[in-house]
């Protein structure tokens, strides 16, 4: 039995406890900010063109109040949990022992909407951006239901959908730099009726290869659509190197978890996150890690 199957079984055995208010909002002591100052010029530029990305200010006070990791709360429980989650993912990005294709492209997905994909993607991006030697690109790939503008307070602007449709637009033209030096953001962009189809397109495949090649040492996190709502998310899964599969504890039916996991069966690296477990004493996140089956 694979680790993931065991994790699915464990879901069944979780104790039922009353709902926990403010789950995840564990800001604790204020420690030294973990973000190194400096400009990440490679991510901001497309190489030869030298065009500047726009810069936005994320409201870190608001983000922290909503339970997210921010650079000034590196000691919070949520920060600790994401430290555990990011380690195996980062080890694979540079793992010389078992090279994984596009290991720096990480998909955050789940079976259904509302399970905490965006919560996980943003926190994972924050956590990795706090590493001394890592830069992160956070991509809003849940194009039918983008949540990064709301969560991070982003302006409406061109993004992924626009790059996929407008050949004259370069990735570097739409990247948003942020007040977290190592965090760059790509919004979903202009809403499009064929948004999810575009995610599975050949042009998206080429863009992903370009991203993986151009920024091999950058971690690129895709806040992705749920696997059971569209087939495009499954195509995306086959193209990204690592998958973080989020399960909302005590809410997602076990059958949905199994069905969704079956759709990503062939993806080599999957890491399962059990979100919003009710055991306040311990962790809001549990995880299992598996290499294939």
Closest CA to 77 of 245, 274, 285: 285
Closest CA to 27 of 81, 62, 67: 67
Name the token pair of 52. 């500047």
275, interface contact from Mg ion, ligand ADP, none, CB < 5-8 Å by kind? ligand ADP
Tokens 């973080």 correspond to 244
Task: Mark residues 74-113: x for contact with Mg ion by CB under 5 A, - for none.
Answer: ----------------------------------------
Contact flag: residue 275 with ligand ADP (CB under 6 A): yes
Among 11-19, 52-60, 106-114, 190-198, the segment contacting ligand ADP (CB under 6 A): 106-114
Range list of H helices, the chain: 3-12, 41-44, 60-65, 77-94, 117-129, 148-152, 160-165, 171-174, 195-199, 202-214, 232-239, 254-263
Phi/psi class of residue 116: alpha, beta or left (left: φ > 0; alpha: ψ in -120 to 50)? left
CB 184 within 8 A of CB 224: no
Size of the site for ligand ADP (CB under 6 A): 15
Contact flag: residue 119 with ligand ADP (CB under 6 A): yes
Minimal CB distance to ligand ADP: which residue?
Answer: 24
110, interface contact from Mg ion, ligand ADP, none, CB < 5-8 Å by kind? ligand ADP
In angstroms, the CA 47 to CA 106 distance is: 23
Please, which residue, 143 or 284, has the CB nearer to ligand ADP?
284
Chosen residue from 117, 177, 234, 239 binding ligand ADP by CB under 6 A: 117
Residue 176 bridge partners (DSSP) = 54, 185
Contact flag: residue 64 with ligand ADP (CB under 6 A): no
263, interface contact from Mg ion, ligand ADP, none, CB < 5-8 Å by kind? none
Contact flag: residue 238 with ligand ADP (CB under 6 A): no
Contact flag: residue 118 with Mg ion (CB under 5 A): yes
C-alpha distance from residue 205 to each of 61, 150, 229, 232 (Å): 37, 27, 20, 12
Which chain residues interact with ligand ADP by CB under 6 A? 23-24, 67, 110, 113-119, 147, 275-276, 284
Interface contacts to Mg ion, rule CB under 5 A: 117-118, 142, 147
């Amino acid at each position: 039995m694979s680790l993931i199957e065991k994790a699915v079984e464990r879901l069944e055995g979780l104790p039922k406890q009353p709902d926990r208010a403010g789950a995840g909002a564990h800001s604790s002591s204020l420690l030294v900010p973990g973000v190194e100052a400096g400009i990440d010029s490679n991510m901001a530029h497309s190489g030869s063109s030298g065009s500047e990305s726009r810069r936005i200010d994320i409201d870190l006070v608001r983000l922290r109040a909503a339970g997210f990791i921010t650079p000034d709360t590196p000691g919070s429980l949520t920060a600790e949990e994401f430290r555990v989650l990011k380690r195996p993912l980062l080890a694979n990005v540079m793992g010389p022992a078992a090279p994984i294709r596009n290991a720096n492209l990480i998909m955050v997905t789940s079976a259904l909407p509302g399970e905490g994909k965006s919560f996980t993607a943003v926190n994972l991006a924050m956590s990795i951006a706090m590493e001394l030697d890592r830069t992160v690109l956070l991509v809003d790939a849940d194009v039918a239901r983008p949540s990064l503008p709301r969560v991070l307070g982003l302006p409406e602007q061109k993004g992924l959908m626009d790059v996929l449709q407008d050949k004259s637009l370069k990735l570097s033209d739409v990247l948003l730099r942020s007040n977290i030096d190592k965090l760059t953001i790509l919004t979903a962009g202009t809403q499009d009726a064929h948004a999810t189809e575009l995610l599975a397109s050949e042009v998206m495949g080429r863009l992903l290869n370009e991203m993986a090649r151009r920024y091999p040492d950058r971690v690129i996190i895709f806040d992705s659509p749920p696997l059971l709502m569209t087939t495009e998310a499954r195509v995306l899964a086959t193209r990204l190197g690592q998958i973080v599969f989020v399960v909302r504890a005590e809410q997602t039916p076990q059958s949905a978890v199994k069905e969704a996991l079956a759709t990503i069966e062939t993806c080599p690296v999957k890491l399962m996150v059990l979100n919003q477990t009710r055991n306040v004493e311990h962790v809001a996140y549990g995880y299992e890690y598996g290499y294939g089956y």
